[in-house]
Amino acid sequence: MITRRTLLLGTASGLSVLALAGCTTPEPEPTPSVTGTPTPTLVPQPLTMRRTNWAGDAFARGSFSFAAVGATPEHRAALREPVADRVFFAGEATAISEPGTVQGARESGLRAAAEVEAIADQSERIAVIGAGMAGLSAARLLVDAGYDVIVIEARDRTGGRIDTVTDADWPFPIELGPSFIRSSATTDLDEQLTVLGAASLEFTTEAEVRTRAGTVVAVDPVGAEAVADALVWAADQARDVSLERAIVDSGNGTLSTTVGDTGVSPADWLDYDLATGLKVTTGAGPGEVSAWYAPGAPATSDTSTDANTDATEDAPAVPRLVIGGYRSLLDDLATDIDVVTSNVVTLVAYDDDGVSLRLGAGESLSVDRVVVTIPLGVLQDEALEFSPALPFAHRGAIAALGMGVLDKVWLRFDEAFWSTDAPLWTIVGGDPDFAVWVNLLPLTGEPVLMGVVAAENADRLSQFSDDDFLVAALSALEPFLAAP
Ligand SMILES: Cc1cc2nc3c(=O)[nH]c(=O)nc-3n(C[C@H](O)[C@H](O)[C@H](O)COP(=O)(O)OP(=O)(O)OC[C@H]3O[C@@H](n4cnc5c(N)ncnc54)[C@H](O)[C@@H]3O)c2cc1C
């Protein structure tokens, strides 16, 4: 067993947290309260909390796609293959490069729109299902090319997984979905945001690392080296295995659990690398992720541009943090586009003559072609029916690829309880649920923190009530309490 768990949490039914806002799920499923003993925390209560539950969101069913064991870039290629020249696919899971990102979604939308443009007459009516980055990018290109385009969106807003909150609870726009431009060197998303008046800042990849006891420590590379070694070993195997299996079978799973002077063991550093690297970038645990296509896996010659996350080869040294509102990109794209919100598409029926869409309310809509951008998790959920059924290659791809989970918590405090100026915090030891934090104070002047919880930790916390979720977040922050 690679990951060891310290169960820190219990119920906090007595907590009356001030302005607790709900999760992002439009139709939230009941979140049962977890029972147990409250864990006291010395971290002050925040003024405001906002949490997400992307797996519970019926129109996302997860945060971003990843390469599950056995999945290959060919699955993404199969998923983006047009069907009968009527049904076209876009969305981050179909991206040729940088799947799982905003720019991957944009690229996929532009690619699908170009495919439509290559065969559609100018007089045709095109529907786009989904008003996220992929859908609006496709629609923008098609509208500008002169097509009659209608975008149908299930939510009551555009943006999809890009979900910027701008309200009185927060001193600046907060992002419930992506915050970073996790881009290749070639993206111009940051420049577009600047033109739109939405700031993004260079963000450090150097974290201040603390033990659970609050000691600042330097990263011991032993964990990252074990993972890298396992990936090299896996690349030479005859078949794909999980990263967890690769770590064990390559002989890297037996790191010592004996703690050193700082109270951290080599095994803790392995857990740290998986928690702050793999889980945050894929939303999945080492038992689920392909060792052939995990982040950092040696690129194989036939997958250099197409690997899931995968494609971290040309990732920039410095990511950018968006603090001025990611959704301004979507608002700009949607200008003068016919977007019908609060309409769930339940059936895509297609034949040689065209496409008929059935909407949740029972109406139907006839178009010549459709671009489907709904997330992989929703496709896996079979919430959208295709008639005739999608070809086997598409169904195989939908089943093979994975949908990871990354959730966020935003906390606004009256004043900072921490004394470090570091913008990026991580925790080693004890499997904290929130292993990574962004300190917005040095970036915005506001005592606001953003924490992330991923993979199985996110699955477990998604079942927590808001009070219990907050206790988990505050417990994870204890290492950053300023000394009295
Ligand atoms: C918490 C989190 C953090 C992230 N962090 C980053 C980051 O820092 N950097 C980065 O680049 N990427 C990040 N991502 C990933 C990024 O947000 C996505 O890759 C990208 O936004 C996906 O865009 P899309 O258009 O493919 O899908 P979506 O934005 O999900 O759009 C699909 C649309 O389809 C709609 N839809 C679903 N079902 C139906 C239906 N039946 N009928 C009609 N409409 C339907 C949905 O409501 C949605 O609007 C993050 C994602 C999450 C959740």
Q: State the SS3 of the chain.
A: CCCCCCCCCCCCCCCCCCEECCCCCCCCCCCCCCCCCCCCCCCCCCCEEEECCCCCCCCCCCCEEECECCCCHHHHHHHCCCECCCEEECCHHHCCCCCCCHHHHHHHHHHHHHHHHHHCCCCCEEEEECCCHHHHHHHHHHHHCCCEEEEECCCCCCCCCCCEECCCCCCCCEECCCCEECCCCCCCHHHHHHHCCCCEEECCCCCEEEECCCCEECCCCHHHHHHHHHHHHHHCCCCCCEHHHHHHHCCCCCCCCCCCCCCCCHHHHHHHHHHHHHHHHHCCCCCCEECCCCCCCCCCCCCCCCCCCCCCCCCCCCCEEECCCCCHHHHHHCCCCEEECCCCEEEEEEECCEEEEEECCCCEEEECEEEECCCHHHHHCCCCEEECCCCHHHHHHHHHCEEECEEEEEEECCCCCCCCCCCEEEEECCCCCCCEEEECHHHHCCCEEEEEEEHHHHHHHCCCCHHHHHHHHHHHCHHHCCCC
Tokens of 291: 């060792």
Tokens of 357: 């869409």
CA–centroid distance, 401 to ligand 1, in Å, is: 16
Q: CA-CA distances (angstroms) from residue 388 to 239, 279, 347, 385, 399?
A: 33, 37, 10, 9, 18
* Nearest residue to 90 via CA among 55, 156, 140, 164: 140
188 in a structural domain: no
Q: CA-CA distances (angstroms) from residue 34 to 4, 40, 460?
A: 21, 15, 10
Residue 180 Cβ < 6 Å to ligand 1: yes
42 in a structural domain: no
Residue nearest to atom 15 of ligand 1 (CA): 101
> What pLDDT score does 419 carry?
94
Residue nearest to atom 53 of ligand 1 (CA): 63
369 in a structural domain: yes
319 in a structural domain: no
Distance of CA 320 to the CA centre of its chain: 16
Residue 410 Cβ < 6 Å to ligand 1: no
d(CA 349, CA 371): 13
d(CA 441, CA 327): 22
CA–centroid distance, 162 to ligand 1, in Å, is: 6
318 in a structural domain: no
CA-131 nearest atom, ligand 1: 49
CA–centroid distance, 27 to ligand 1, in Å, is: 17
CA–centroid distance, 130 to ligand 1, in Å, is: 9
Residue 319 Cβ < 6 Å to ligand 1: no
Residue 452 Cβ < 6 Å to ligand 1: no
Residue 333 Cβ < 6 Å to ligand 1: no
Residue nearest to atom 5 of ligand 1 (CA): 178
Tokens of 11: 């119920």
> What pLDDT score does 37 carry?
43
Residue 283 Cβ < 6 Å to ligand 1: no
Residue nearest to atom 33 of ligand 1 (CA): 130
Residue 315 Cβ < 6 Å to ligand 1: no
CATH of the domain at 140: 3.50.50.60
Beta-sheet strand order (sheet of 125-129): 87-89, 369-372, 125-129, 148-152, 338-340
CA–centroid distance, 375 to ligand 1, in Å, is: 7
103 in a structural domain: yes
Residue 462 Cβ < 6 Å to ligand 1: no
351 in a structural domain: yes
Residue 154 Cβ < 6 Å to ligand 1: yes
- How do the pLDDT tens digits run along the chain, 484 residues long? 344 332 222 222 222 222 333 333 444 343 444 444 445 678 999 999 999 999 999 999 999 999 999 999 999 999 999 999 999 999 999 999 899 999 999 999 999 999 999 999 999 999 999 999 999 999 999 999 999 999 999 999 999 999 999 999 999 999 999 999 975 666 788 889 989 988 888 898 899 999 999 999 999 999 999 999 999 999 999 999 999 999 999 999 999 999 999 999 999 999 999 999 999 999 999 999 999 999 999 864 344 333 334 434 444 457 899 998 999 999 999 999 999 999 999 999 999 999 999 998 889 999 999 999 999 999 999 999 999 999 999 999 999 999 999 999 999 999 999 999 999 999 999 888 999 999 999 999 999 999 999 999 999 999 999 999 999 999 999 999 977 6
Q: Taking a C-beta distance cutoff of 8 angstroms, is the pair 448, 171 a contact? A: yes
> What pLDDT score does 154 carry?
98
84 in a structural domain: yes
d(CA 244, CA 235): 14
d(CA 58, CA 174): 22
Q: Taking a C-beta distance cutoff of 8 angstroms, is the pair 372, 130 a contact? A: yes
> How many domains would you assign to the chain?
1
Residue 242 Cβ < 6 Å to ligand 1: no
- Name the residue of 87, 102, 137, 165 to mutate for ligand 1: max ligand atoms within 8 A of Cβ: 102
CA–centroid distance, 338 to ligand 1, in Å, is: 20
The range of the structural domain enclosing residue 371 comes to 64-161+327-403
Q: What is the CA radius of gyration of the chain?
A: 22
Residue 129 Cβ < 6 Å to ligand 1: yes
Amino acid at the residue 463: Q
Residue nearest to atom 2 of ligand 1 (CA): 177
What pairs with residue 437 in β-bridges?
425, 451
